[in-house]
Amino acid sequence: MNVHLDPEDTTKSAPPAPAGTARFKSLHSETIALHGGSYRFDPTSGAVAVPIYQTTSYQLPGTDGADKLFALEAPGHLYTRVSNPTQDAFEQRLAELEGGAAALALGSGQAASAFAVLNLARAGDNIVSAAGLYGGTWALFAATLKNFGIETRFVDAGDPEAFARATDDRTRAYYAESLPNPKLEVFPIAEVAEIGKRYGIPLIVDNTAAPLIIRPLEHGAAVVVYSTTKYIGGHGTSIGGAIVEGSFPFGDYPARLPTLHEPDPSYQGKSWIEKAAAIDFLPYILRARAVLLRDIGAAVSPLNAFQFIQGLETLPLRLRQHNANAEIVADFLKKHPKVSNVIFPKFQSGTAKARADKYFKPGNYGALVGFELKGGREAGRRFIDALELFYHVANIGDARSLAIHPSTTTHSQLSAADQLATGVTPGYVRLSIGLEHPDDILADLQQAIAAA
Ligand code: PLP
């Protein structure tokens, strides 16, 4: 819930419902990134930058006011595990930038994926997920959620109807990454969202690798997940995550979505659909905060929320450079005689290319580039060891350029066959292209390939 200290004070508050929607709808991303959300300046000091509210708790109004706060009938903050004004400012701005209605910031991307699913699925339920997932999400679904009694049915994202075939009465959500690596084939968001509508199943899309350049909510996704650790933070300094709710009609599907429709004994026996309607707010985000964040924690720290606001402010600008640099790198690798294959959406063909053209903002293919050296595994290792500018890091979305050899690092615990199935060939190298001058990036690649 994007809660506010004082509903009468328009400098720091807005009615809960429109948070993230109306105020800047007609403005461009660059402008929303700097001005989105109801925060304008700090009313006590006039500070223009959002202050870091480094506090655990908040002075409650009188006992009547406190009753209302605890019952979620009045806006306000109680305890930073559940909400905080710096976090609130970040959530509002992110929701607005995403074209969503409300957001919840969390302590990591892993927490965001877990919350996104646990908000809908309980023991005995299942979700259907694209198989091409970040390894941490795969482990969460295949092992940890399985141990909670939630089954994940993994399907091939190349065939949207596979989601329908895997669906039964206990399917509560569809899940996918918009731009999964290593294959970098864009997920068919609209096609699977459409299938979801047949059954009342919301589609959750992890858009970590493609913020702003792929717009899942515009294509029918119900919820967007981020590891804000990557491009949103943008500088490799802070771990965080977020979920953003769009306009999916959660209220229309009582049998399909029991967590939102059944009475919750911890909130006066009302359902989350009813609770949200009573305060003109969004049921999915409201429950995620009031139930999961309350019970599981995984709160984002105020300092990290501040860092993510800083990141959002330059995100559109940074992404333009990330994407432009990545395309220069991909073009360079494509022509290099020692490179056998370049994995980059621009060079795809058939359905994968058609999807890239449909879902990416024109001319933006993201900043991840994969390639294979003709010398295979050993050449991949020598290449990594020869890099001077690139960092050898298991991360993406830093301002600095990063490289990794998945077969011997991130995917080393998979069998050779499983590695191949996920698209990791022995010589595959993944690059996350940063903001350095492209000539310097190319020079480092040139010398490292020569040494490989
Ligand atoms: N989703 C994707 C696509 C990721 O790449 C990652 C991390 O690499 C995560 C989720 C998990 O995010 P975090 O590391 O912030 O928990």
pLDDT tens digits along 125-162? 999 999 999 989 999 999 999 999 999 999 999 999 99
% of the chain at pLDDT higher than 90: 84
137 lines ligand 1 (CB under 6 A): yes
- Full DSSP string of 103-161: EEEES-HHHHHHHHHHTT--TT-EEEEES---HHHHHIIIIIHHHTT-EEEEE-TT-TH
Per residue in 383-430, pLDDT (tens digit) is: 999 999 999 999 999 999 999 999 888 888 778 887 887 788 888 999
pLDDT of residue 16: 36
Six-digit token string for 434: 């940063």
The answer for residues whose C-beta is within 8 angstroms of residue 429's C-beta and 6 or more apart is 370, 371, 372, 373, 380, 383, 384, 403, 404, 405, 406
pLDDT of residue 424: 86
Using 50, 70 and 90 to split pLDDT, how confident is the model at 25? low
178 lines ligand 1 (CB under 6 A): no
For residue 196, being part of any structural domain is answered with: yes
pLDDT surpasses 80 at 20:
no
Q: Which residue has the tokens 């091939």?
A: 156
- Full DSSP string of 360-386: SPTT---SEEEEEETTHHHHHHHHHHH
The DSSP element (H or E) to which 172 belongs, if any, is strand 171-177
Which residue has better confidence, 3 or 448?
Answer: 448
Whole-angstrom Cα distance, residue 356 to residue 349? 9
For residue 18, being part of any structural domain is answered with: no
Pocket test residue of 110, 204, 224, 300 for ligand 1, highest count of atoms within 8 A of CB: 110
Q: Indicate whether 256 and 380 sit together in one domain.
A: no
∠ CA 414-417-418, nearest 5°, is 40
For residue 364, being part of any structural domain is answered with: yes
For residue 375, being part of any structural domain is answered with: yes
Name the residue with the closest Cα to ligand 1, atom 8. 395
Q: Indicate whether 369 and 279 sit together in one domain.
A: no
Six-digit token string for 152: 């994940």
Instruction: State which of 303, 326, 352 marks the end of a domain.
Output: 303
Choice among 9-18, 255-264, 370-379 with the minimum mean pLDDT: 9-18
134 close to 177: Cβ distance less than 8 angstroms:
yes
Beta strands in 270-345 (DSSP E): 339-343
Q: Indicate whether 216 and 147 sit together in one domain.
A: yes
> What is the overall mean pLDDT for the chain?
92
Q: Indicate whether 375 and 424 sit together in one domain.
A: yes
CATH number for position 72: 3.40.640.10
Six-digit token string for 422: 């996920």
Whole-number Å distance, alpha carbon 76 to ligand 1 midpoint, is: 30
Domains identified in the chain, total number: 2
For residue 23, being part of any structural domain is answered with: no
Whole-number Å distance, alpha carbon 385 to ligand 1 midpoint, is: 25
Name the residue with the closest Cα to ligand 1, atom 15. 109
For residue 240, being part of any structural domain is answered with: yes
125 lines ligand 1 (CB under 6 A): no
Q: Indicate whether 293 and 329 sit together in one domain.
A: no
pTM: 0.94
Distance of CA 13 to the CA centre of its chain: 26
Whole-number Å distance, alpha carbon 368 to ligand 1 midpoint, is: 14
Whole-angstrom Cα distance, residue 51 to residue 33? 17
In ligand 1, the atom with minimum distance to the C-alpha of 395 is 8
Q: Indicate whether 386 and 289 sit together in one domain.
A: no
In ligand 1, the atom with minimum distance to the C-alpha of 113 is 10
In ligand 1, the atom with minimum distance to the C-alpha of 230 is 15
Six-digit token string for 6: 């004082």
Per residue in 45-99, pLDDT (tens digit) is: 999 999 999 999 999 989 988 999 998 988 999 999 999 999 999 999 999 999 9
Q: Indicate whether 331 and 388 sit together in one domain.
A: yes
pLDDT of residue 421: 76
Peptide bond before residue 345 is cis, with ω within 30 degrees of 0: no
Of 266, 231, 299, nearest in space to 88 by CA: 299
Pocket test residue of 133, 137, 223, 243 for ligand 1, highest count of atoms within 8 A of CB: 137
Whole-angstrom Cα distance, residue 288 to residue 38? 22
Q: Indicate whether 80 and 130 sit together in one domain.
A: yes
Per residue in 297-356, pLDDT (tens digit) is: 999 999 999 999 999 999 999 999 999 999 999 999 999 999 999 999 999 999 999 999
Q: Indicate whether 274 and 337 sit together in one domain.
A: no
Sign, Cα dihedral of 15, 18, 24, 28: positive
Q: What is the CA radius of gyration of the chain?
A: 22
Helix residue spans in 224-301 (DSSP H): 258-261, 272-278, 283-287, 294-296
pLDDT of residue 14: 32
Instruction: State which of 277, 303, 329 marks the end of a domain.
Output: 303
29 lines ligand 1 (CB under 6 A): no
Whole-number Å distance, alpha carbon 109 to ligand 1 midpoint, is: 5
Q: Indicate whether 161 and 284 sit together in one domain.
A: yes
The answer for residues whose C-beta is within 8 angstroms of residue 218's C-beta and 6 or more apart is 99
Q: Tell me the pairing of strands 368-373 and 428-432.
A: antiparallel
Per residue in 253-306, pLDDT (tens digit) is: 999 999 999 999 988 899 999 999 999 999 999 999 999 999 999 999 999 999
The DSSP element (H or E) to which 330 belongs, if any, is helix 302-335
Whole-number Å distance, alpha carbon 293 to ligand 1 midpoint, is: 19
For residue 409, being part of any structural domain is answered with: yes
380 lines ligand 1 (CB under 6 A): no
136 lines ligand 1 (CB under 6 A): yes
Q: Indicate whether 291 and 322 sit together in one domain.
A: no
Q: Give me the domain span that covers residue 218.
A: 29-303
432 lines ligand 1 (CB under 6 A): no
CA distances from 224 to 137, 177, 219, 308, 353 (A): 15, 9, 11, 16, 23
pLDDT of residue 316: 97
The DSSP element (H or E) to which 440 belongs, if any, is helix 438-451
CATH number for position 417: 3.90.1150.10
Whole-number Å distance, alpha carbon 135 to ligand 1 midpoint, is: 9
Q: Which residue has the tokens 């310097």?
A: 440
Whole-number Å distance, alpha carbon 32 to ligand 1 midpoint, is: 25
Instruction: State which of 268, 303, 338 marks the end of a domain.
Output: 303
Q: Indicate whether 276 and 335 sit together in one domain.
A: no
Six-digit token string for 74: 């009045």
Assign 299 to helix, strand or coil. coil
For residue 1, being part of any structural domain is answered with: no
